[in-house]
């Protein structure tokens, strides 16, 4: 039996990674047999080196490849063994000190869903990678609208067979169009989810969370919108002294449009929502533009409605006293333990949606 056959047999016979490593060291280590053969080439004459070098190098390559293949086989076998024999009972309580917390964004999402469910709203979702039709055109945004600019929007490479690139949605408003197309009218929904814009500072991140509200029905007025927002904000901040101020504004998909401010006051040295010591903007809203209703396949002469939108992360900051948006996405365990919620802090209207 040749040296090569002997080494290959030892490699094939290795039953675990430790045995395989021992074979590798004995063959390819500093004092290994193949290493010694390589060193011997230096003492040979040119004729001997010319005849022996190809054989020795081929032996090294053959052994190296065999070790790599055997290592892969042993690692896969070990993984299969662990998968078959090791299990974690997820129903068991976590050990002391290892229990996780609910992220403030997830908690606020649950609070919002609880509040609007009580008002008769359903929850709708849509894709985060959108066509420009749903993200812009159907929402009455013209081709030259600033929101379409490359510095504000993340554009993706066009898919095969598509003329224009898709985008990471810049708001959850496309869900309005999709919902009206799918279910017609009347409709009453909220659309929470992730959105993306090219911006980053203490109050902006490239990815953040937004919630959109939509009501489509007959004879809907601005009064219905104002009552809905007042009811929602009072329930969310759990205060009866929440005061709203609606300022005329412009959004392509609503007409008339209004920015919504809430009154704030200073309590224990911290600014909180409630009272009227000052005003801060929290929402954008308005009556759905007739073109948007028509783009969704409905008759604007028969159906009217309103929409509103706000940042979920901003609501969490206002309610729970955070002053910087960036730590929401840093994954710092210390921040999560401080601002996180227990798994059993489930928001209910009867018990108060706040934890």
Rg (CA), the chain: 32
Please give the Cα distance from 98 to 273 (Å, whole number): 34
User: Which residue in 172, 170, 178 sits closest to 193, CA to CA?
Assistant: 172
Per-residue pLDDT, 344: 62
Q: pLDDT tens digits for 284-341?
A: 999 999 999 999 999 999 999 999 999 888 888 888 877 777 888 787 788 888 887 7
For position 148, what pLDDT does the model report?
63
State the sign of the Cα–Cα–Cα–Cα dihedral 135, 137, 140, 145: positive
pLDDT of res. 99? 67
Note the pLDDT tens digit of each residue in 41-81: 888 888 888 888 888 888 888 888 988 999 999 899 888 88
Question: Residue 95's pLDDT band (boundaries 50, 70, 90)?
Answer: low
What are the contacts of 314-320 at 24+ separation with CB within 8 A?
Answer: 314/203, 314/282, 315/108, 315/112, 315/236, 315/282, 316/104, 316/105, 316/107, 316/108, 318/237, 318/273, 318/280, 318/282, 319/108, 319/236, 319/237, 319/273, 319/354, 320/104
Asked whether 211 and 310 are in contact (CB, 8 A), the reply is: yes
Stretch 132-151: mean pLDDT: 77
Residue 355 pLDDT class (50, 70, 90 cuts) = very low
Q: Closest Cα partner for 226 from 275, 287, 172, 281?
A: 287
How far is the C-alpha of 175 from the C-alpha of 185, rounded, in Å? 14
Q: How many CB atoms lie within 10 A of CB 348?
A: 11
Indicate whether 109 pLDDT > 50: yes
pTM of the model: 0.65
What would the mean pLDDT of 124-130 be, rounded to a whole number? Answer: 90
Q: Give me the chain's average pLDDT, please.
A: 84
Positions of E strands within the chain: 122-123, 129-130, 167-168, 187-196, 207-217, 244-251, 254-267, 270-273, 278-288, 304-311
What mean pLDDT comes out for the span 230-249? Answer: 90
pLDDT of residue 334: 82
Local structure of residue 255 (DSSP, 8 states):
E
Asked whether the predicted pLDDT for residue 12 surpasses 80, the reply is: yes
Give yes or no for residue 2 having a pLDDT over 60.
no
Angle (CA) 304 250 173, round 5°: 60
CA separation for the pair 241, 142 (Å, rounded): 40
């Amino acid at each position: 039996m040749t040296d090569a056959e002997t080494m290959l047999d030892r490699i094939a016979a290795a039953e675990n990674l430790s045995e395989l490593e021992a074979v590798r060291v004995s063959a390819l280590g500093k004092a290994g047999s193949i290493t010694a053969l390589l060193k011997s080439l230096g003492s040979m004459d040119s004729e001997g080196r010319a005849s022996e070098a190809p054989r020795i190098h081929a032996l090294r390559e053959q052994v190296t490849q065999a070790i790599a293949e055997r290592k892969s086989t042993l690692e896969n076998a070990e993984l299969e063994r662990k998968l078959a024999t090791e299990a974690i009972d997820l129903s068991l309580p976590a050990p002391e000190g290892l229990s996780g917390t609910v992220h403030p964004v997830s908690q606020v999402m649950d609070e919002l869903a609880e509040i609007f469910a009580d008002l008769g709203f359903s929850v709708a979702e849509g894709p985060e990678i959108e066509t420009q039709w749903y993200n812009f055109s159907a929402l009455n945004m013209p081709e030259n609208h600033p929101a379409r600019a490359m510095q504000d929007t993340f554009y993706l490479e066009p898919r095969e067979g598509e003329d224009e690139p898709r985008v990471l949605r810049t708001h959850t408003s496309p869900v309005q169009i999709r919902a009206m197309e799918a279910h017609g009218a009347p409709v009453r929904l909220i659309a929470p989810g992730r959105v993306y814009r090219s911006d980053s500072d203490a109050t902006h991140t490239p990815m953040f969370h937004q919630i959109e509200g939509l009501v489509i029905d007959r004879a809907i007025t601005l009064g219905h919108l104002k009552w809905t927002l007042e009811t929602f904000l009072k329930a969310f901040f759990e205060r009866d002294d929440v005061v709203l101020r609606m300022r005329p504004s412009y959004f392509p998909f609503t007409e008339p449009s209004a920015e919504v401010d809430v009154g704030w006051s200073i309590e224990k040295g911290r600014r909180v929502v409630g009272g009227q010591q000052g005003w801060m903007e929290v929402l954008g809203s308005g009556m759905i533009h007739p073109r948007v209703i028509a783009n969704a396949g409905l008759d604007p002469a028969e159906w009217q409605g309103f929409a509103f939108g706000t940042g979920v992360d901003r609501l969490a900051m206002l309610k729970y006293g955070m002053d910087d948006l960036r730590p929401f996405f840093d994954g710092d365990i210390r921040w999560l333990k401080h601002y996180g919620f227990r798994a059993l802090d489930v928001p209910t209207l009867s018990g108060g949606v706040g934890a």
